Structure 1
């Protein structure tokens, strides 16, 4: 599956709102740059007319220029490796590519080759979900990773002691990438498949992870709850602080209670607990 890269040159004051607008139009990942923003969308989800119309509307309010580029599957690594640097999440997690030197002093070192998948830990949403994971007891727990991307959250769950992890993604390339990253990290207990929550086999999990986007979360949180045991935790991210109220309303309507929240650069990640009936 190929991607479309949108490169935007725009005033910093408009970067956040444009990420939100592009997210509504199907864009999955964003990289803030010195002069604006890079955004990525699967080619089959790219609506050229809608995106250009939205950008022209903003051009009436501020100086803006943009370019589109198709990134074919085999060139994805090259695109990411240009700027892919190791990151540290707190004092415990170190995320690197296989061409970076290891740092054995970190309790949890994760090796990620991103390929065409999203989720390297660099984006605020991924790093905040991982921060939340550090504060949940994963020992011998069952974990469901919704929209696994690179598999980074599933890998961390395994390193934190989870005994059984089910990870899925709608994108075939994400499934291939997750399997590769599982081998790179020498972890076990992770089952990976291509698909959606609708065809997830019936099972009950202690922890459900879903780093996706606002609209999908609002529509699918009721489904996630059916897979979550009483007292279990749901970690969600992929939305802005301003969206927390809408996410929380849906979560509370299906028996969840907010127990923790992180915010970074206007992005948010929230932990909910399933209440006893």
Structure 2
């Protein structure tokens, strides 16, 4: 599976999910499926004697999710659950999620690590940008941790609508925007949460770094161990200094601080 993930990382997949003997990968809805399938077969034919590539029509996965979804507990810090699950008074924070077609329930390694990293960040009174908000799970947690205000953005309209619904479920409010970093151009945030993917990080870095306030923090996830060096190098080229690293399986979460050099 490690080899397969490494080989597929060159394609423009937005997320992955591993299962017993399977790997699911999500593409942008406007991607050329036949071309990508052909390229995947050509790339992987040297490594696999049998390969099946199947594209599944987009649908509302909520009914299946409800049948299979278990609450996600991140130590004693946070519990991510559905409205039909029982509350747990023994955790610090609870997040209620109805994901519909959006990404972010805490089950995936990247979301889980982002939650772990957020436990070590001081959100009190801070401004936060949640880039690629999905279900809004990280925005909700940031607000519960004391953030003054949160701006959540996503390029997918279903995610934007789902994030709004989940914010309401949790009794918190955030600005939710359909679009990318260009929608917040000229604004600065104390903390940036970017659980996206390697390609998006590399493409958006030059503009994204302008949104980070002086001495601000950014948490990146959504990429594999094989991508760590290039993500780190690009971050440092744009004035970000590494402050944390967390790994779960083949997935990584990196924290950076925006370094402000004193003028001499």
- TM-score, scaled to structure 2: 0.91
C-alpha displacement of 1:229: 1.5
Structure 1 residues 55 and 101 mapped into 2: Cα distance closer, same or farther (>3 Å)?
farther
- Equivalent residue, structure 1, for 2:182: 198
- Structure 1 segment 98-113 matched on structure 2, within 5 A: 98-113=83-98
Look up the match of 2:127. 142
Note the residue ranges of structure 2 that are not aligned, 5 or more in a row.
Answer: none
Q: Match of 1:126, SS?
A: helix
C-alpha offsets along residues 169-203 of structure 1, whole Å, 9 cap, x if unaligned?
01000000000110111112x10010111221422
Give distance in 2, aligned partners of 1:146 and 1:37: 25
* 1:159-198 paired onto structure 2 within 5 Å: 159-188=144-173, 190-198=174-182
Which of 44, 54, 57 is equivalent to 1:71? Answer: 57
| Contact 1:25 1:47 (C-alpha < 8 Å) held by counterparts | no
Aligned to 1:9: none
Match of 1:25 in 2: 11
Distance in 2 between residues matched to 1:91 and 1:99, nearest whole Å: 20
Match of 2:81 in 1: 96
Distance 1:86 1:64 in 2: 36
Counterpart for residue 85 of structure 1 = 70
8 Å Cα contact 2:15/2:197 also seen in 1? no
1:240 equivalent to 2:224? Answer: yes
Is contact 2:6–2:226 with CA below 8 Å preserved after alignment? no
1:60 offset after TM fit, Å? 4.5
Partner of residue 36, structure 1:
22
Asked whether 1:120 is paired with 2:105, we answer yes
Task: Confirm or deny that 1:55 pairs with 2:41.
Answer: yes
Match of 1:3? none
Displacement of 1:32: 1.5
Change (3 A) 1:135 1:54: same
Match of 1:5 in 2: none
Take 1:41 and 1:216, find their aligned partners in 2: how far apart are those partners?
A: 13
Retained in 2: the 8 A contact 1:149–1:169? yes
Once residues 32 and 95 of structure 1 are traced to their aligned partners in structure 2, the CA distance between those partners, rounded to angstroms, is 20
**How much has 1:167 moved relative to structure 2?**
0.5
User: How many angstroms apart in 1 are the aligned matches of 2:126 and 2:210?
Assistant: 17
State the SS of the aligned residue for 1:177.
Answer: helix
1:64 & 1:56 partners in 2: Cα distance?
12
Structure 1 SS opposite 2:68: coil
Q: CA deviation at 1:59?
A: 4.2
Distance 1:33 1:129 in 2: 21
Could you tell me which runs of 5 or more consecutive residues in structure 1 were left unpaired when the two chains were aligned: 1-14
Match of 2:114 in 1: 129
Distance 1:182 1:86 in 2: 18
Rounded to whole Å, the distance in 2 between the matches of 1:264 and 1:216 is 20
Aligned residues: 261
Query: Which residue is 1:10 aligned to?
Result: none
Shift of residue 20, structure 1, vs aligned partner: 4.0
Q: Distance in 2 between matches of 1:82 and 1:43?
A: 26
Aligned with 2:141 (options 156, 159, 163)? 156
Q: Please tell me whether the aligned partners of residues 185 and 211 of structure 2 are also in contact (alpha carbons under 8 angstroms).
A: no
Distance between the aligned counterparts of 1:29 and 1:240, measured in 2? 11
